[in-house]
Structure 1
Amino acid sequence: MSLAVLKSRALAGMHAPEVTVEVHLANGLPSFTIVGLPETEVKESKDRVRAALQNARFEFPARRITVNLAPADLPKESGRFDLPIALGILAASGQMPGDELDKYEFAGELSLSGELRPIRGALAMTYAMHRAGGASGRQRAFILPRANADEAALVGDATVFPADSLLQVCAHFAAADGDARLSRHRAQAAVARPDYPDFADVKGQSHAKRALEVAAGGGHSILLVGPPGTGKSMLAARFPGILPSMTDDEALESAAVQSLSGGFSTARWKARPYRAPHHTASGVALVGGGGTPRPGEISLAHRGVLFLDELPEFDRRVLEVLREPLESGQITISRAARQSDFPARFQLVAAMNPCPCGYLGHASGKCRCTPDAVARYQGKISGPLLDRIDLQIQVGALPHDELLKQADGEPSAAIAARVEQAFERQLRRQGKGNHALSTAEIDAHCKPDAQGEQLLRTAMLRLDWSARAYHRVLKVARTIADLAGADGVMQPHVAEAIQYRRALREQ
């Protein structure tokens, strides 16, 4: 047989479309051509495949070799097509049986010695293969490098066969049964509570801790404003430890995004991601991009926490790109040749000083910033972005004598238990967290009592809130009621929610 057909997967954002690898051997002057819109990494596979076949003691055909990666209009990148190309050459030249190739999909980069090296996006490819098989009623197995086996096997009932080398894969197809066949890999990820820093380490700051508990209970974004050394970064680092446990679907979504960047570890399975980019990060680093679009920090924080410390120090244009993802939970990256969608349902935790020197309102009276300087500094955060942050609180500095007298704080486990109960109430009532409620759902589930409604209207008029701010306060009040175990939203819940909504312009 001079033609072999195998299946593999490409990556297009979060999607992994099927790629048909066709290898044809023809008479004529020896040549090796790869067509089908290959990127540079794919074109270079010719040399890797040739060396791998020769070092594995196979004969490299001295014929006209044409490899077609279909569909032709889908860009192909990375070295994941090395393995299917090599197997296609062996099958087309008769050095390996090819009657079972249609039962499998293949991906893996080859070293010159024939060893298999790990690839990016193994989890996303396995998930796409399994979902496509379920829709068609014909499930294939996936053969890929052993280093990717643990993450690929996280996909439900997917059949994953890890291999160490090209020779092992060839032996699998050459042997009818016995020890030469590859063994199916089972998921090895252990589900355990991630080892986050504990809130018990934070002394004082009960107001900030309570606000973070409310934020965790309803999935709300939060801004911490206070002088240096008051514990803003310390509080943010402990925030993931009180978030609700991840469901299997959420964990799979998060792990798939991490897999696209090559940074996923099964030791972090069901652990909320925590991303804290430096304030010098560019817009592309934050939202993603590149010639071949890759996920940015907001997508790598999907189903977890994005912490932006020193918020006004970020470039204004960088901060503005957060506005749409905060509303929609996804980001679309458009380039001249392609467009990619990535999920970005993260919880924003931001921290900043109140003025350029940082000591505005400090008991020491250190601040010498003029009102104009303070206004310019706080004005680096636009009104539209600030309007999308649900809770905005002051983190005050404790006097030294009081700080030394403070007892240890409440442990994260106790706070997490209350948050979990509140979140379960939301799932039973509406099937989602309070932060994701639509306008109609807000009217149905967040309507306060008469006293609460009057208080909220008064606050809206005096503080000149937008309709978005009004709805966000209602959702925060609903979360406060859930933490209290209340069925309805009462005046005390609304009053507490209003306290958490003090815009910087009004301080």
Structure 2
Amino acid sequence: MQIVSFARAGYTGEIVKVEADLRRGIPAIDIVGLPDGAVREARERMRVAIRNSGLDFPRERILINLSPADLKKEGGSFDLPIALGVLAASEGNVPEGEAILVLGELELSGTVRPVRGVLAAVARAQEAGIADFILPAENLEEARLLGAPARGARNLAEALNAYHEICSIRALCGSDAETEGSGDADGAKDISAENNAEEPRWRSYRLGYEDVRGQERLVRGLQIAAAGGHHLVAWGPPGCGKSLALGRFDCLLPDMDRKTALEATRIHSIAGTLEADFSNGSRALLSRPPFRQPHQNASLEGMIGGGKHCLPGEISLAHGGTLFLDEAAQFRSGVLQALRTPLETGTVTLSRAGKNETFPADFQLLMALNPCPCGHFGESGRVCTCGPEAVDRYWKRLAGPLLDRMDIRVPLSAPEGESFADPGRAPDTESLRREIDRARRMQRERGAVLNGKLAPGDIEKLCVLSESAQALFGKGMETARLSGRGGHGVLKVSRTIADMEGSVLIEEEHLMEAFQFRRWSGLLPDFLS
């Protein structure tokens, strides 16, 4: 059996062949194939781990080759495959035929430590036709998600036994035989079935919208955004409830479908951000849409991704979920402008060392900001200390092209005392979810993506207006002086509002509400009109 491992490089990564050659000479261990410091140190870890596991370490000169040679190998996940390669070579086991993927970091005692990126490694190996896996026991849940009959190893001795069993089964049954795991494949099927339901599933939240008072228009905008996958921007004075309402947006979203959940889990596996336990009983699968809220000091690399290891950034970690930029005008201008292409394509391509790596980045963007640097521009009863030029510079940090992609715009003011004190006027989260569920069900029945992601060619086919609505749309486009993207945004939002009411046609009232959510406040700078 040929031992292979995995090098994290972007979203897909690369399969790495691990070869060990023993020859006569002064005992020494050499590792070639562009290893980094952690991989070079594996020779000492695996030497001691083999001896402390009660196994014989070969006395010959050892050469370990990691191919392809031009790909940098990084991290501790190469410890276990290197150790098994050396032990197999010392037994005279010439690697050939079928490959087996091995991952794991070794402690000096021989204990196998978990590693990150296992889901990405197993997915890439399955694409390459590899069917056998030896992984750290703590990483088995990730392999199960893809139906891989992986064997878990808690220490080096268990890993070696698993390797011998796989070799014996292959020798007896031939290359087409399926490796017999210890019930892992069945576990994977159960998890797959659990997470492949077409109907959305909801989670119970301790915090909903019951205590968000006096901002009915904002809550309505968030409900429409959740129903159709639209981007939203809200602005208003400090303390009016922007961050409170937008920060609870994820409670309006149903679980991700299985395909998106696997993509999101793969990204978080590469980034090493998978949680230890989840409410659905799985230790690996992300069923809930991610909700990412980066700090205003986030760098371009932190937001988009990249760096030495070409890791995913915040926009990829938000794939399938939401990216919330609180105090959006405080982010660096270059960071904000870098969001424009991913918002259109749903992916981000990173270029590093002559290679391009593409990560999924299909997310909803929510932005909250003050109307000016001091926060009191246009607020009744308060004095704004910012001059007109300061207000212009403040909003121009976001720039028109990015704001033009925000289908829902919500101006806010401080809540009135009567609405703030009346508990009977508080939104009901379950009622909001029912209309969102109705809208998403209609979108699934049409077989299309969410309305917010509709391509221009699909808008004409799916956003069918009634006769009276057609006349209103033409007048509204002229009055509001909307661009082509702006007109499409109005149609997509009105389609979502109609779906929430179960209407096949877009009527006048749906279109009027969509136009209202497209308008900027008359107090804002002229370039936003």
**Could you state the TM-score of these two structures normalised by the residue count of structure 1?**
0.91
Structure 1 match to 2:337: 320
Secondary structure of the residue that 1:199 maps to in structure 2?
Answer: coil
Structure 1 match to 2:271: 261
**Superposition pairs of residues 401-420 of structure 1, within 5 angstroms:** 401-407=418-424, 409-420=426-437
Give the Cα separation in 2 of the matches to 1:488 and 1:342. 37
Q: Is the 8 A contact 1:172 1:182 kept in 2?
A: no
Give the Cα separation in 2 of the matches to 1:497 and 1:402. 24
**Superposition pairs of residues 118-197 of structure 1, within 5 angstroms:** 118-133=114-129, 140-155=131-146, 157-174=147-164, 183-185=182-184, 186=187, 193-196=202-205, 197=207
Give the Cα separation in 2 of the matches to 1:71 and 1:413. 54
Secondary structure of the residue that 2:424 maps to in structure 1?
Answer: coil
- When residues 260 and 329 of structure 1 are mapped into structure 2, their CA distance, relative to the original with a 3 A threshold, is same
The correspondence for 1:426, drawn from 430, 437, 443, is: 443
Q: Is the 8 A contact 1:162 1:183 kept in 2?
A: no
Aligned-residue offset at 1:448: 2.2
Structure 2 match to 1:46: 43
**Could you state the TM-score of these two structures normalised by the residue count of structure 2?**
0.88
Q: Is the 8 A contact 1:244 1:423 kept in 2?
A: no
Q: Percent identity?
A: 40
Aligned-residue offset at 1:50: 1.5
How well do the aligned residues superpose, as a CA RMSD in angstroms?
A: 2.4
What per-residue deviation string (whole Å, max 9, x for no partner) do you get for residues 432-489 of structure 1?
1112211111111114234323333333333332211111111111111111111011
Secondary structure of the residue that 2:72 maps to in structure 1?
Answer: coil
Q: Is the 8 A contact 1:7 1:102 kept in 2?
A: no
Structure 1 match to 2:400: 383
Q: Which runs of at least 4 in structure 1 moved beyond 6 Å after TM superposition?
A: 97-101, 188-192
Structure 2 match to 1:231: 241
Give the total of aligned pairs. Answer: 494
Aligned-residue offset at 1:27: 1.5
Give the Cα separation in 2 of the matches to 1:282 and 1:109. 31
User: Which deviates more from structure 2 when the two are superposed, residues 266-275 or residues 361-370?
Assistant: 361-370
Secondary structure of the residue that 1:227 maps to in structure 2?
Answer: coil
Aligned-residue offset at 1:408: 5.8
Structure 2, unmatched stretches of 5+, are 170-179, 196-200, 280-285
| Counterpart AA for 1:24 | D
- When residues 101 and 240 of structure 1 are mapped into structure 2, their CA distance, relative to the original with a 3 A threshold, is farther
Give the Cα separation in 2 of the matches to 1:182 and 1:158. 9
- When residues 12 and 194 of structure 1 are mapped into structure 2, their CA distance, relative to the original with a 3 A threshold, is farther
Give the Cα separation in 2 of the matches to 1:447 and 1:324. 28
Structure 2 match to 1:311: 328
Aligned-residue offset at 1:182: 7.1
| Counterpart AA for 2:454 | L
The correspondence for 1:365, drawn from 355, 365, 382, is: 382
Structure 1 match to 2:460: 443
Q: Is the 8 A contact 2:404 2:486 kept in 1?
A: yes
Structure 1 match to 2:470: 453
Give the Cα separation in 1 of the matches to 2:255 and 2:2. 44
| Counterpart AA for 2:440 | F
The correspondence for 1:201, drawn from 201, 211, 223, is: 211
What per-residue deviation string (whole Å, max 9, x for no partner) do you get for residues 26-69 of structure 1?
12222212222223322221222122112212222222211122
The correspondence for 2:62, drawn from 62, 65, 70, is: 65
| Counterpart AA for 2:126 | H
- When residues 214 and 43 of structure 1 are mapped into structure 2, their CA distance, relative to the original with a 3 A threshold, is same
Give the Cα separation in 1 of the matches to 2:95 and 2:389. 77
Aligned-residue offset at 1:159: 1.0
The correspondence for 1:87, drawn from 84, 87, 108, is: 84
Give the Cα separation in 1 of the matches to 2:208 and 2:417. 22
Give the Cα separation in 1 of the matches to 2:265 and 2:39. 25
| Counterpart AA for 2:253 | L
| Counterpart AA for 1:63 | E
User: Which deviates more from structure 2 when the two are superposed, residues 214-223 or residues 118-127?
Assistant: 118-127
- When residues 172 and 30 of structure 1 are mapped into structure 2, their CA distance, relative to the original with a 3 A threshold, is same
Structure 2 match to 1:490: 507
Give the Cα separation in 1 of the matches to 2:160 and 2:94. 10
Secondary structure of the residue that 1:212 maps to in structure 2?
Answer: helix
